[in-house]
Structure 1
């Protein structure tokens, strides 16, 4: 009989790429992860990993087993959701991941509704970049999370996660009032010679801005890296550059900032481990979010 905990380690290795990354994410030592994977290979009776120096990759059989492991873990999530639904009332922690602009605008109202309707539930919020959500959900650091992607920067689906769409929003070009830009019809290319304010390089929003500018025919001259749209707009207001900001990020825009709507969108959805869509606490949070955005 294959051990589910070891199957989860193999699944994490497939997603994270290295034994060290798996160990760091799941609070094991690398040697412990290696030992458990070796035991799994003995249980399976076939080679699941190929070792080439310090690198470890999954064999075709190992990859097939990961696909089966996803199915097994989904069934276990469904069983856990069924048990939670059989209990009377919602209680206990619900670990929620969110990106900053949703934490500032959507999540507070959703939490207020949860507190009123399910006072025994204990929502725990963690701000997290959408690029890190999949690992956090699979590693059980989160139960549910808000994610987003952009035109020019789509996200890759994850087989271990389920999701429900929540909303779409327009993007805006934010520029200091009084700045003219170039005589261009394209609202992004108009600012090809301006300094730009973008998110840090490892974030999806950074990729979106760079690719949008490339499509407009130029590489942005980046002056500032800032991961907070309120701060970004403050910098725009004092003439430090231009930026692209989603609708949720332009709340309380300073009067010194001019906004131009762009033909681009950001899409937001709610993610959870596959099989957990029927968990009553996850469903309650999704329902509260839908009530907020409706």
Structure 2
């Protein structure tokens, strides 16, 4: 019979790409991961990995097995959720991006602490692009993930999501004007590899030019301060534009940022997960536009 823990390692390898990354995420040694995957191959009776030097690739049989692993792990999560005690207690780990921590997560935490004092609330601030890996690894229970019109999110078979918030994206500058007119401007964008950086590049390309990025900043307060100082222009979503300096002109664009609640498949009925989702949605409804 196939071992569920080994199946999880294979699933993580499919997502993360290297044995070293799987080992780091799940607190194994690389040799232990390799040994477990070799044992899984013996249990399955077929080759699952193609090794070329230090690199490994999944065989067609392994990809089939990964699909089954996703279903098996989700069913086990459902069983655990159905057996969970109705009294809310224990750790609840939530991941969110910085502007959401300030504007959405903080009031949700107040409500959760008041209504469910037995919960041990644990918050991690992170880029939404890294949230799916953390959810699959079990280091988060609920996370806020994002997509932009120019950066759609690929579906993840290990996760379920539901809508939370849609925001306007603004062009932040010291004077009004269309995005297409900023081809010669200096730009302020997020760290390369983040969703915000990718969104800036693709939105500008859709307007007919590639941005000349001078500054990289991931905190929108810093971004707006740089705009106010005349250091460039930037794209800023609605939550990030709260409290913008009076000198900064915010021109709304057609682009939108969409935030969704994400959690592992099968965990929606877990009482703590359900309570977190309820509190976060209530905080969005109560926020001041």
Tell whether the structures are fold-level matches, with TM greater than 0.5.
Answer: yes
Q: Which sits farther off after the overlay, 223-232 or 114-123? A: 114-123
Equivalent residue for 2:270, pick from 264, 267, 279: 279
Equivalent residue for 2:182, pick from 178, 184, 191: 191
2:176 and 2:251 in contact (8 A); partners too? no
Q: Report how far residue 29 of structure 1 moved.
A: 1.2
Q: How does 1:231-250 map to 2 (within 5 A)?
A: 231-250=222-241
2:97 and 2:126 in contact (8 A); partners too? yes
2:176 and 2:249 in contact (8 A); partners too? no
Number of equivalences: 285
Q: How does 1:82-97 map to 2 (within 5 A)?
A: 82-84=82-84, 87-97=85-95
What is the rounded CA distance, in whole Å, between the counterparts of 2:176 and 2:245 in structure 1? Answer: 18
2:86 and 2:271 in contact (8 A); partners too? no
Q: Report how far residue 150 of structure 1 moved.
A: 0.4
Q: How does 1:10-49 map to 2 (within 5 A)?
A: 10-49=10-49
What is the rounded CA distance, in whole Å, between the counterparts of 2:109 and 2:120 in structure 1? Answer: 10
Q: Report how far residue 88 of structure 1 moved.
A: 4.0
What is the rounded CA distance, in whole Å, between the counterparts of 1:88 and 1:6 in structure 2? Answer: 31
2:168 and 2:256 in contact (8 A); partners too? yes
1:203 and 2:194 aligned? yes
2:189 and 2:213 in contact (8 A); partners too? yes
Q: Which residue of the partner structure matches residue 102 of structure 1?
A: 100
Q: Which residue of the partner structure matches residue 259 of structure 1?
A: 250
Structure 1 segments unaligned to the other structure (5+ residues): 182-186
What is the rounded CA distance, in whole Å, between the counterparts of 1:168 and 1:53 in structure 2? Answer: 46
Q: Which residue of the partner structure matches residue 63 of structure 1?
A: 63
Q: Report how far residue 53 of structure 1 moved.
A: 2.1
Structure 1 runs of 4+ aligned residues shifted over 3 Å read none
Superimposed CA distance per residue, residues 253-272 of structure 1 (whole angstroms, 9 cap, x where no aligned partner)? 11111111111100000001
What is the rounded CA distance, in whole Å, between the counterparts of 1:167 and 1:291 in structure 2? Answer: 11
Q: Report how far residue 52 of structure 1 moved.
A: 1.9
What is the rounded CA distance, in whole Å, between the counterparts of 2:75 and 2:176 in structure 1? Answer: 58
SS of the residue corresponding to residue 239 of structure 2 reads helix
1:2 and 2:2 aligned? yes
2:176 and 2:250 in contact (8 A); partners too? no
What is the rounded CA distance, in whole Å, between the counterparts of 1:119 and 1:164 in structure 2? Answer: 26
Q: How does 1:109-148 map to 2 (within 5 A)?
A: 109-148=107-146
2:96 and 2:143 in contact (8 A); partners too? yes
Q: Which residue of the partner structure matches residue 77 of structure 2?
A: 77
Superimposed CA distance per residue, residues 14-46 of structure 1 (whole angstroms, 9 cap, x where no aligned partner)? 111111111111111111111011111111111
Label 1:13 to 1:118 Cα distance change in 2 as closer, same or farther (>3 A).
same
Q: Report how far residue 123 of structure 1 moved.
A: 1.4
Q: Report how far residue 126 of structure 1 moved.
A: 0.3
2:150 and 2:203 in contact (8 A); partners too? yes
What is the rounded CA distance, in whole Å, between the counterparts of 1:25 and 1:287 in structure 2? Answer: 29
SS of the residue corresponding to residue 113 of structure 1 reads helix
What is the rounded CA distance, in whole Å, between the counterparts of 1:289 and 1:190 in structure 2? Answer: 38
What is the rounded CA distance, in whole Å, between the counterparts of 1:149 and 1:180 in structure 2? Answer: 26
Q: Report how far residue 180 of structure 1 moved.
A: 6.4
What is the rounded CA distance, in whole Å, between the counterparts of 2:234 and 2:120 in structure 1? Answer: 37
SS of the residue corresponding to residue 88 of structure 2 reads coil
Structure 2 segments unaligned to the other structure (5+ residues): none
